[in-house]
Structure 1
Amino acid sequence: MPGGRHMRQAEPDRRDRALMLAATLARMGVGLLTFMVLARALGPAGFGGFAAAAAYATLVALATDYGLATSALRLAAADPARSGEIVGDALRTKAILVALAFPAGAALTLWTVPAGDTGVYLLVFIGTLAYSFADLTLVAARAHRRFATEAGLVVTTSIGILAITATVAMVTHDTLATAAAFALTRLAYLVATRLRLRALFHRDHRPGQHAIRATLRQAAPYAVDNILTVLTGQVDVLLLALLLSAHDLGIYQAGGRLVQVIVPFAVVLSSVHLPALSANALRGDDDAFRRQSRRITIEFAGFGLIGGIGFALLGPFVTRHLYGPAFDPLLPLWPGFAAYAMLRFAAAGFGIQLAALGRIGPRILVQIATLLGYTIAIILLVPGHGLGVTAWALAAIGGGTFIGLGAVLWRSGRADRAVAAVLLMVPPVAGGLAWGAWVGG
């Protein structure tokens, strides 16, 4: 039947979501386990330095995405036959942006990083950039709805990344050796991704200056939003690295990095919905858009609740039994981290709907406001109160993002009523979860 066929094309089916969930959980699991093993193997000070390098590298890697992933996915999903050309243009544009950013980044690293840590920063930057190029390459698979291909690639390579990096860290207890393993395994992920998807790319396609400029122009509306989204996930480390000792930063990072892992992977998980959601928005099919709005809103709020409960319960257990006594100051921070996890994951569901509607301006304003509020709070509170306020400040930025994006989405007039229900229910649930974890701890 034509109508049924159209519906299958318009909305991602359960198999698509299950495959994307498998890929996302593999990414998330590797991120969580890798950071836990590194914290244990390197100790608070060594882990603090490694995690700071990872935060700066992630900021550069994702900022040079320049909104290319979202823009390319929308364009490629609308014209799958040209997906290889579209994603190829995006990859070459990103390579140019990286090349332009490299001299400034290298000079800043040499100026601000102790000489003994320069090699660690360089290797972490290489690994992080390789991972971001691989993820951008996977947009071609998503445009063709080849979620099984992506899931297979991510799951198999994630196992290798975790096994090699964790083994090197536990055997050597050396930050430089661990950074080398980090870089090599992620370069292997990039090579494997490119080889697996080579049939989707046109070998004879060489974009000229006009194509590069067009790619930049098409991605520009998403660029500021993308950079602010990345900065929201990294600003805590960027600021705290200036205000805390390496030891205290390592304590914070042992929890904060685990929780912040959810931000990029919430974005990855949401991308399974973006092609169909954008198509419904552009066609003006409000009924189909609201059906997906309800599903996404409830799905992401549910994942947020699971994540919040997981961090509230497992965080103290991991601290006591995996990290060891050196990380005991982390214990009081878990309630704030749990509240942040719930709020931030739920907010990602609102964010992807606004992206599909093309409401990028309001997203940018919300993120600027929350970033400014967080920055002011950290600068004023941390010097006097130290580590204890850091997790609660992070929870506040999650709450501001959740309420701001949800309010904008509801005011658009095109969202499902589930958005209003989740807006009213999630903040008190997150607060109750944090209070329960605080009392229980």
Structure 2
Amino acid sequence: MNDDELVAKLEESMQHNLGDWGRTQYLIERIQKRQEIFQSDKKYLDRMLNEIQKIHQRDLEVEKTERTKQRIFVQDLIKCDRCESEIGLNQRAIRKKDFWFHELCYDDIPISKQIEITKQPLDKQTIKYDDYFKIEDKSSVNQFYPFQIIFTSAILISLIASIYFLFDKFFSIVIAIVCTALFIVIYKSQFKMFNNKKYNQTHTSLIKTGIPGLDSMISGGLKKNRSVIISGPPGSGKTTFGLQFLYSGARDFDEPGVYVTMSQNIDEIKNDCKSFGWDFDDLINKDKIMMIDARPFKIQDEMIGKDDSLYRGEQMPFEHLTKLLLSSIKRIEAKRVVIDSVTILAMQYLDKFYMRQGLQGMIQALENYGVTSLIISEHSENNEIPLEWFVTSGIIQMNNQIIANTPRQTIQIKKLRGVKHSQQIHPIRLEVDGLHILEA
């Protein structure tokens, strides 16, 4: 490094308020006059140069982080098969078979075409044409069942009246009885179709948790494509709750799941689960479950069941974890996700605003990908309400309480948007097959 570069570095150190201003100015003058630098001053000079280099390195990391944030989801953004534009992370999306739509684009597709999409996998090249997705009069598509019944009744009455005037009365009475029976059959079928439609609209949007006693507390299950916080102090059963939700989904309901741990070794988790008879290794080998070790400052070189360079490196904030999750979801077509726990990840943020922003982005991305997520959070009633409580669709509070002079684990549904639920505190019993929720 020549004298001019040394002077420039020292002047830069003064701008950053590094070292002693007078001593730095003294060194600059000696260098400019090409005078000898004493040994003690050389050590000071080396220290200033190292500090400047650290600042440059830090600036490069910040710039790299900003660039990463800008392109972090580029690979994982999906396109709408209706308008062919990308579906942003802040936009609602609908997935049907292998097709993705903006929510508004899907609403514009005629119902007859929507049904066809769900029945058979259509060729993507053909479904994008406007003639397939052309907008029709929705009043003609959304048929109103009572209107069909009135129309059928009018036809039958006309038929009976015609027969009455053309033939004898006995024959017309027989025809009237037959027509009445036919009308009753048609009425029942139409009424059943109408009720089934209402039932399906209500129940197909729910998924069963697989935890005995819980689904009856929440009207049959959790809302699909929503995120729910599982909150509570250490030892309240949060991790067991999340693992049981994931395992039951993969084993009983054919819904693959992704589990992310930030506090425990995966081998230890799997060994603990064997006490409940949960064989995670079998489901991992079948690509029904993926487990990711994302403990602080380290993501293991080996991800259970997979080996991919994407999963190597240092622990990352929400944006990077989101990309990791989306990639894993696509690999096994996951429907369920458990993150244990978000509190450890949030501790890496000094600014709560950026922490909440990152968490909201992750939750929105997961919901857009059509998965139901459980996000575990460390919290006790003595602490302030954590920020993550305000950005999810539901909050399930687990706790350790004294009931009838006996320590018991308990559960309470604090919030579950769009679902009728019990508001009472229910005790939990730990059985050989996992958690059981008891009556309050």
TM range (shorter): under 0.3
The structure that has the greater radius of gyration is 2
Normalised TM-score (structure 2)? 0.26
Name whichever structure is richer in helix by fraction.
1
